[in-house]
Structure 1
């Protein structure tokens, strides 16, 4: 397959997803099968609600256009690449979290070997089947396993800080990308509009806060008034109706209260002053800063723990409401996946 053939196939997959999103009651074979897969995925993992999966599918439908793919790939040189077998150890924290690696491996012409997460073992394989139906040349380029990885030449693995140490040892003799725990932060200075703060709510609550690009930490000026923030968050109050989220919120609140921890609470979100970045479900950590130089120093100290920073352009690299809507060129942990796949030549 040529690069143009691969681009054409993925853009057609995006078109199929767009048709599904725009007409969920479509009687097409693809729509019926995808609807069934979505139901099965929610039964497999209760965090994967229909709304959350549809949100992910919508983002990928918008990303997988011929124009977006060409713009993404344009800076790279794909000539004379020797084809490799690339293993991808996939996470399962949010729907289709491993799809970018799937796309990257295949668009560069390599063979994709996916080790599926038990929390998300249905969605990517289904889209792979559809991709093969669009372009049968992919059939020999895609493998999935839930067991030990078969022979491979390079690996991309995503996991916790603990599993990353295992990955570093196990894959030390292969070209690799090893991703660890990261979290995202938002910077507020008190001048944000209601619309800004409501958009920030999407960064906090989308996928129940389980993604590395979800905001789990706020940086605010000293004596910041959280009243406007909580009023803006109220539009997301229905999150507490999800039983797993509610259980986590209740548990964390009880633990904090028993420890006499000072909290701010609006009934579905806890705010706790804390220097850490990785807050538990239903909780946002916050930290105050005295001036911009203090803030910049703090962010530099924690650079290795931060996936992205949300805020006004003066502070953040990502606009409010866009944290979980990354571009194709927004690589996890800041490591250029395509460049890695090209250099494994």
Structure 2
């Protein structure tokens, strides 16, 4: 197996930069006698990112940066890549059409293209066009050889060999048609669910709160639906959720919460309300912002059948080990490098389509 990991050193340096930067921002800039120029430059990038997208608050951006900093370590990167034969046999230009629902949502695709030795042709979402170009510039500073491996565009994509596009169910139909003659990964809407059995510890429920509220519930890995046993008592869950009560002070979140509450009240829908989140019994998976759907289940066996039948709608499943494929509470918003979106191995796709 080829152990050529030429991009790893630069990625490790980027991880160190992110860890130092998050520490600096978390400490309010007081931990340093003088602020490095690179930190000041990134401060400006974050300021612009928050101004251009109200959902990208400082705390959510820093959470995303902290998560990526944890993955960009040498042992973690090598552990991820050791089962692949890198680099690709034939370098490709891979078009990346990125979403903008959460900060750096397309970074894993970008990372996958680089480690395979391909060129990334990136079209950022208008909602998230500041963060990734800055990090890409840092990578080129750490490894000048990467300058020819990435290009950002705001117009037409031009020439490319393969494409990874992320969008809504509506835009995915356009992508499927437009990119039909190219090797592609087209991602649609997916949601994440959690299964409770009523025996959860407070630590479990606190982890679930992170899974629900981080990124205002807008990520595909954000838990938007709960499965609970009959006569489930939500009181302990609401206690755990209280940690995120300040979410209601965000004007866009508050507007969504107020609107959905009014709609449910006018329609006579039953719901639970803790003044910053609505819990509504519903068979759907994609709950609106400010709302969390829940559904009762009668037995674990019946629930397993439901989950299997709806597998294509579910991004990740949170719960106890007894539920096949479940990840621990609190892990949904902290994916590992091998946690591929929609279960599609991006690196395998990129290597397979580059065989001479």
TM-score by length of 2: 0.95
Q: Does 1:118 align with 2:126?
A: yes
Q: Which residue of 2 aligns with 1:258?
A: 266
Q: Which residue of 1 aligns with 2:75?
A: 67
Q: How does 1:81-230 map to 2 (within 5 A)?
A: 81-230=89-238
Deviation, 1:3, is: 3.7
Q: Does 1:300 align with 2:308?
A: yes
Indicate the SS of the match to 1:4: coil
- For 1:165-196, what per-residue CA distance to the aligned partner results, in whole angstroms no more than 9, with x for missing partners? 11111000000000000000000010001121
Tell me if structure 1 keeps the 8 A contact 2:282–2:295: yes
Deviation, 1:80, is: 5.7
* Distance in 2 (alpha carbons) for counterparts of 1:165 and 1:209: 24
Q: Does 1:49 align with 2:57?
A: yes
Q: Which piece of structure 1 moves more, 335-344 or 312-321?
A: 312-321
- For 1:70-123, what per-residue CA distance to the aligned partner results, in whole angstroms no more than 9, with x for missing partners? 000001112561000000000000000010011000111000001110000000
Deviation, 1:5, is: 2.6
What is the Cα-based RMSD across aligned positions, in Å?
1.1
Tell me if structure 2 keeps the 8 A contact 1:3–1:109: no
Tell me if structure 2 keeps the 8 A contact 1:3–1:107: no
* Distance in 2 (alpha carbons) for counterparts of 1:88 and 1:35: 26
- Unpaired runs of 5+ residues, structure 1, are none
* Distance in 1 (alpha carbons) for counterparts of 2:256 and 2:154: 28
* Distance in 2 (alpha carbons) for counterparts of 1:160 and 1:4: 34
Q: For this pair of structures, how many residues does the alignment match? A: 344
* Distance in 1 (alpha carbons) for counterparts of 2:240 and 2:14: 36
Indicate the SS of the match to 1:59: helix
**Deviation beyond 6 Å, 4+ runs, structure 1:** none
Tell me if structure 2 keeps the 8 A contact 1:272–1:286: yes
Tell me if structure 2 keeps the 8 A contact 1:3–1:108: no
- For 1:48-68, what per-residue CA distance to the aligned partner results, in whole angstroms no more than 9, with x for missing partners? 000100010011111101111
TM-score by length of 1: 0.98
1:342 to 321, 334, 351: 351
* Distance in 2 (alpha carbons) for counterparts of 1:39 and 1:22: 17
Tell me if structure 2 keeps the 8 A contact 1:221–1:289: yes
* Distance in 2 (alpha carbons) for counterparts of 1:39 and 1:249: 26
Indicate the SS of the match to 2:6: helix
* Distance in 1 (alpha carbons) for counterparts of 2:48 and 2:322: 44
* Distance in 1 (alpha carbons) for counterparts of 2:230 and 2:309: 20
Q: Which residue of 2 aligns with 1:332?
A: 341
Q: Which residue of 2 aligns with 1:11?
A: 12
- For 1:206-256, what per-residue CA distance to the aligned partner results, in whole angstroms no more than 9, with x for missing partners? 000000000000000111111121122111111101111101000110111
Q: Which residue of 1 aligns with 2:330?
A: 321
- For 1:136-183, what per-residue CA distance to the aligned partner results, in whole angstroms no more than 9, with x for missing partners? 111111111121111000000001111111111100000000000000
